[in-house]
Amino acid sequence: MTVRGVVFSLGVLAALLQGCATQRSPPAASAPVAAAPPRALPHAQIDTKRDWYPWQGRLQNLEGQTVVRFQIDRGGKATAIKVVTSDAAPLLQVTAVQLIQSARFDLTSVPYDAGNPAPFLVSVLFCMERCQNRPPYPGTSDSIMITGSRH
């Protein structure tokens, strides 16, 4: 292909892309939907012998909060686990998911409906030394605070 052919092809491509990039009006606003209250989280058994603050996170003084969404099966195990939002480093997000995966939930501790499709939302907060100044994300069922030390 000649230089003229390349320039022509690029010009046609640019015109096509510009045609595809037309601005669209935003969708019409719908009536606000009232947020459903969070589901009551059953009591959880978590391995307390494990240090849940990753050592790399301690070395780097990483802190942050991750909201994890999940379901609980009839055996009390978390399923369909997903990070919804987070201001934490990826290392802390992965640890938050691992913590929820390892938990066993006591389904007799709260009224539990296995057929309820609404997910559980838990805020997992990682902070060095004190977590009290950091509220959980709104709309979460509960929060778990993991503290580390700088020593």
pLDDT tens digits for range 68-98: 999 999 999 999 999 999 999 999 999 999 9
> If pLDDT is split at 50, 70 and 90, which confidence band does 107 have?
very high
Q: Which CATH architecture has domain 43-148?
A: 2-Layer Sandwich (3.30)
Query: Which has the minimum average pLDDT: 75-89, 112-126, 132-146?
Result: 132-146
Choose between 12 and 94: higher pLDDT. Answer: 94
Q: Pick the residue with more confidence: 22 or 67? A: 67
**Each residue's pLDDT tens digit, 46-70:** 998 899 999 999 999 999 999 999 9
Predicted local confidence at residue 66, as pLDDT: 95
Can you give the pLDDT at residue 131? 73
* Alpha-carbon distances, residue 12 vs 3, 21, 22, 64, 88 (angstroms): 14, 14, 16, 48, 44
Closest CA relative to residue 74, chosen from 46, 41, 104, 40:
104
DSSP state, residue 38: P
Domain boundaries, the chain: 43-148
How far is the C-alpha of 135 from the C-alpha of 143, rounded, in Å?
9
The pLDDT value given to residue 68: 96
Q: What's the pTM value of the predicted model, to 2 decimals?
A: 0.72
